[in-house]
């Protein structure tokens, strides 16, 4: 009986693994991209294979904007910042004439961002500071619960990519630990990362403002300051990973040149490695953009993906569906 029980248990374990491989990634069309992912994972979990990866080393990092959820017409956190500027305006009459705030209040987004990153940083710092971390997270939660995307009318948390949600689940089912590594704000993403992606806040790495620890009415709080602490973008991404995780991941997923150094560092390690870029090619179901886009620009990654053996996912050709509904 013990032998039969052991054989039955072994059979169930083996068939479960086959089921995970065969049924996962339903929103991915059969093709080279899907097959490369499955082959990498099946190899990584097979202790008899030379490409076996111990569970402690199965770490996968994902960019957020344009990789896990959409980023058009602008990064969603920027749209949140603009809404906060409008709600804060009565307390700042000087913003009526001071740029870039005045243009936001007039509804002129292009004018507000005329000075590029410098203007965006001003808007983010003004709208993301002067409150406790909990106060900020409450603001984000309230906004996500009520705001809708300007062109699709969907809630922002519904602008996530179904194929990537399936990929996250598939990797975790095979004992990979998944992290977000984004240029977006760490405290912004931590509000929704677990509910939307199944990624807990301690596995989110992002840009951040400085904060002070202080007591308010005897209660310890963190007070957010209008000072940049760290920008987790481009070459900052590998630095953020090293400081936060302390181990080089084996899989990296992005969509823009802002993710290039992350994929470069991850895939330069010894042993099996996988790098993947999502190429936005679907103008009907999402947006088609790459080299000339003001967000999510993809130039170097597009040129070098093949020679670096990175998977270049064609959203239009490789995905059966884009959004969950």
pLDDT in tens, 77-89: 999 999 999 999 9
What does the alpha-carbon distance between residue 71 and residue 76 come to, in Å, rounded to a whole number? Answer: 6
SS3 state of residue 131: coil
| Domain shared by 65 and 94, yes or no | no
CATH number of the domain bearing residue 246: 3.40.50.1000
| Domain shared by 66 and 81, yes or no | no
Cut 0.75: pTM above it? yes
> How do the pLDDT tens digits run along the chain, 325 residues long?
455 554 454 444 444 454 455 478 999 999 999 999 999 999 999 999 999 999 999 999 999 999 999 999 999 999 999 999 999 999 999 999 999 999 999 999 999 999 999 999 999 999 999 999 999 999 999 999 999 999 999 999 999 999 999 999 999 999 999 999 999 999 999 999 999 999 999 999 999 999 999 999 999 999 999 999 999 999 999 999 999 999 999 999 999 999 999 999 999 999 999 999 999 999 999 999 999 999 999 999 999 999 999 999 999 999 999 999 8
| Domain shared by 128 and 223, yes or no | no
Return the residue matching tokens 């409450």.
138
What does the alpha-carbon distance between residue 317 and residue 86 come to, in Å, rounded to a whole number? Answer: 40
Phi-psi region of 116 (alpha: psi -120 to 50; beta: other; left: phi over 0): left
| Dihedral angle, C-alpha 125, 262, 191, 163, nearest 10 ° | 130
| Domain shared by 142 and 244, yes or no | no
| Domain shared by 83 and 99, yes or no | yes
Residue span of the structural domain in which 306 resides:
26-71+160-318
Strands 219-230 and 204-216, sheet pairing: antiparallel
- CA distances 154 to 7, 139, 147, 149, 257, Å, are 49, 19, 9, 5, 27
| Domain shared by 111 and 209, yes or no | no
Q: Strand pairing partners for 69?
A: 65, 160
| Domain shared by 120 and 62, yes or no | no
pLDDT of residue 3: 53
| Domain shared by 221 and 269, yes or no | yes
Shortest CA distance to 81 belongs to which of 30, 143, 138? 143
| Domain shared by 57 and 183, yes or no | yes
| Domain shared by 178 and 55, yes or no | yes
Q: Sheet holding 219-230: strands in order across?
A: 219-230, 204-216, 177-185, 59-62, 251-254, 274-279, 311-314
What is the tally of structural domains in the chain?
A: 2
Residue 16 falls inside a structural domain:
no
Q: Hey, what are 301's tokens?
A: 């990654």
Last-in-domain residue among 122, 146, 170: 146
Residue 261 falls inside a structural domain:
yes
| Domain shared by 226 and 301, yes or no | yes
| Domain shared by 132 and 223, yes or no | no
- Number of CB atoms found within 10 A of residue 64's CB: 26
What does the alpha-carbon distance between residue 323 and residue 162 come to, in Å, rounded to a whole number? Answer: 5
């Amino acid at each position: 009986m013990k032998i039969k029980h052991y054989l039955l248990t072994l059979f169930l374990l083996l068939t479960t693994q086959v089921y995970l491989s065969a049924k996962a990634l339903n929103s991915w069309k059969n093709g080279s991209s899907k097959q490369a992912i499955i082959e990498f994972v099946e190899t990584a979990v097979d202790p008899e294979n030379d490409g076996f990866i111990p569970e402690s080393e199965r770490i996968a990092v994902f960019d957020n904007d344009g990789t896990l959820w959409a980023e058009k017409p602008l990064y969603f956190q920027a749209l949140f910042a603009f809404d906060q500027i409008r709600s804060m305006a009565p307390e700042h009459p000087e913003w009526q004439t001071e740029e870039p705030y005045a243009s936001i209040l007039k509804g002129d987004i292009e004018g507000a961002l005329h000075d590029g990153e410098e203007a965006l940083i001003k808007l983010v710092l003004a709208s993301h500071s002067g409150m406790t971390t909990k106060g900020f997270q409450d603001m984000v939660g309230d906004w996500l619960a009520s705001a809708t995307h300007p062109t699709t009318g969907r809630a922002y948390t519904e602008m996530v990519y179904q194929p990537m949600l399936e990929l996250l689940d598939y990797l975790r089912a095979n004992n990979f630990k998944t992290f977000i590594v984004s240029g977006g704000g760490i405290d912004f993403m931590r509000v929704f990362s677990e509910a939307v992606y199944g990624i807990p806040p301690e596995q989110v790495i992002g840009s951040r403002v400085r904060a002070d620890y202080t007591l308010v009415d005897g209660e310890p709080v963190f007070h957010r300051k209008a000072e940049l602490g760290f920008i987790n973008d481009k070459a900052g991404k590998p630095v953020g990973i090293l400081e936060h995780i302390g181990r080089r991941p084996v899989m990296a997923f992005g969509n823009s040149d802002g993710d290039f150094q992350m994929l470069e560092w991850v895939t330069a390690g010894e042993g099996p490695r996988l790098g993947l870029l999502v190429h936005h090619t679907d103008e009907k179901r999402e947006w088609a953009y790459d080299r000339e886009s003001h967000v999510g620009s993809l130039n170097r990654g597009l040129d070098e993906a093949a020679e670096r053996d990175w998977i270049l996912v064609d959203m239009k050709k490789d995905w059966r569906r884009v959004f969950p509904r």
